[in-house]
Amino acid sequence: MFYNLLRDKSVTAEKTFPDIEEDAWYTKYVGVLAGKGIMAGYPDGEFKPDQMITRAEFAAVATLFAKEANGGKTFSDVPKGYWAEKNIATAAEYGWITGYSDGTFVPAGYITRGEAATIVNLMLGRVADRTYIDAHRSGLMQFSDLKDDTKWYFYNMHEGETGLRTSSVPFLL
């Protein structure tokens, strides 16, 4: 997903990780993102391609595509000095994340597909056209877990199939 947001996909040297097979479908994408300094892997040198991504990790990668904001928005469970504090604050300032109603962000929680799609839509300034999506349901991807239009993420998930990039956020990459 983040690879597809790159304006320039060329790098002088793709970075490799010992736990990524040379012929894995995602090897090129991870290598380019790592070569551009977007993906760094973990302190042990691995990428952990089968590990779920946390909300903090996703926010950290997402904000590398934009200028750091002042980051005035804070969450009660993101302590000062937390490794992704500035990234989370930047994503909140741009309006990409809002956290939960109790004032938390849950940075170590795993991000859902619905949350990821919503953040990327917001990054790109895309708003789901509910009328269009409702009128064209039969032509949209039919996932067994994405049929209930009362779910908060329903339209954001389908927006990825129909939207256009209209963001005014100053993308860097």
Predicted confidence pLDDT, tens digits, the chain (173 residues): 888 888 888 887 778 899 999 999 999 999 999 998 888 889 999 999 999 999 999 999 999 888 888 878 889 999 999 999 999 999 999 999 999 999 999 999 999 988 998 898 888 888 888 888 888 888 877 777 778 888 888 888 878 666 544 444 445 55
> 38: which 2 tokens?
């977007």
> 41: which 2 tokens?
């892997």
List b or e across 142-171, with b for residues whose CB sees 16 or more CB atoms inside 10 angstroms.
Answer: eeeebeeeeeebbbbbbbbeebeeeeebee
Confidence at residue 168, expressed as pLDDT on a 0 to 100 scale: 47
Nearest CA-CA partner of 105 in 72, 129, 78, 80? 78
Measured CA to CA, the distance from residue 26 to residue 3 in angstroms comes to: 10
